[in-house]
Amino acid sequence: VQLQASGGGLVQPGGSLTLSCATGRTYSSSVFGWFRQVPGKEREFVALIRKSSGTTYYSDSVKGRFIISRDNAKNTVNLQMNSLKPEDTAVYLCAIGSTFDSSSSAYRSWGQGTLVTVSS
């Protein structure tokens, strides 16, 4: 499965940005995740959603600010990011797995990522 994330860019603190990930056809049991990574640091979990039920889970650092959603008809997963902070600056990656798990090791397919920069 090839994943393609898009929508990154430069945004001012307090602003909003929506990322999209084209997943292609996936199993109904799939779980979609968004992670982020800063050079020199470990990959960090952001949010995940179950394809079938739409059940979501967020990291504490983004809860209440980010919203993950999926469009099964369009085979896309979105991440709406609000109230962005400079510490949200990172490369954002989407991934596909089969378990409802925030660990990056649970995901078998990864996209290349899209850069989000939060700065004034």
Q: Tell me what percent of the residues of the chain surpass a pLDDT of 90.
A: 92
- Structure tokens belonging to residue 8: 């990154």
pLDDT at 8 over 90: yes
Beta strands in 26-89 (DSSP E): 31-37, 44-50, 56-58, 66-71, 76-81
Cβ partners under 8 Å of residue 40, min gap 6: none
Q: How confident is the model at residue 20 (pLDDT cuts 50, 70, 90)?
A: very high
Q: Tell me: the pLDDT tens digits for 62-94?
A: 999 999 999 999 999 999 999 999 999 999 999
| Closest by CA position to 111, among listed 97, 96, 94, 98 | 94
Q: What is the pLDDT of residue 62?
A: 98
Q: What is the pLDDT of residue 2?
A: 79
Q: Tell me what percent of the residues of the chain surpass a pLDDT of 70.
A: 99
For the beta carbon of residue 44, count every other beta carbon within 10 angstroms.
15
**In the predicted model, what is the mean pLDDT of residues 46-54?**
96
